[in-house]
Chain A
Amino acid sequence: MILKIDNVTKNFGGVTAIKETSFSVAPKEIFGLIGPNGAGKTTMFNIITGNYVPTSGEVIFRNEAISGLKPHHIVRKGIARTFQNIRLFSSMSVLDNILIGFDFQARYGFLESIVRFPRFITEERRIKARAMEILDYFGMSALAHEKAVDLSYGQQRKVEIARALATNPDLLLLDEPAAGMNPSETEELGEIIKKARVDFDLTVLLIEHDMKFVNQLCDKVLVLDYGKTIFEGKPADAIQDPEVIAAYLGDFHND
């Protein structure tokens, strides 16, 4: 198991966002975290990435307890994420956005950058070439010098995934990657995630409301409702499960 959530609870004052939740994600799996609005999905992501410290329980990544570590340390251990609301660096170009993902991988010091030491130049070339490769992989190298916020919504979502991949993760957390996309963009995104899993050697944990998308993509799902696990198993079985249907009723009708 690459990721193990061990009996995690998270309280915000009186609100219990996550209640005694446990699950495990196997290497190279695409694992879906689903549930109605406010179920605690994003909170679970924030616990895994170190933004929140769990009230109790442990997050174990590759046999190491990581809860309590700072987010930027957890990234370096190999967990990257995207955000539910796109959060690109708005003043920066697409390329510079990707390069932020290489920040901790560029091996030169502060003084070396001031005097333009040779290692600065070779390292900048190296990470720029790698960033361009990633952009190329997403078919966006022509947009490298555009401002990230000038791109279309679907493209911005892809830049966010590309930026997360730049940190060279083993586990990629995607918070509603298809939100706001049209059906053809959603389909393309599904293909990219499947392909990237192989090409980048990834395990994927994703939150998504689009059940068709989840069904096509995920090997396994966990359904949360009010912070509690109500189902764990195959996505096809989840939509048959009476408890899941009951929790989701509103959402299914709305779609």
Chain B
Amino acid sequence: MPAGPHRPSEECRRIFALLSEYLDAELPLETCDEIEAHLSDCPPCVEFLESLRRTVELCRSFEPGEMPGPLSEEVRAELRQLYEKALRGRPSGGAP
């Protein structure tokens, strides 16, 4: 059994460093297998991974606390001018 009775094993520590890549499916298959083998026998690592997974889920549904103020008509008109100039400058673009 990989985990010692009283504290996280070296393997727990090694895996701890890889958990985000594991969640993002960015690890080589072989490393994934090693992690899954460890998880199958280490409830604390499973519990921790779950807390990290839920954290990522919450980050992905992040809601901004502040929004920018309204855009002034003056700025909007300047941006539109730049936009129209850029369209004329594009190889495939024509005037809007």
Is this pair of chains taken from one and the same complex?
no
Q: Which residues of B contact A (CB under 8 A)?
A: none
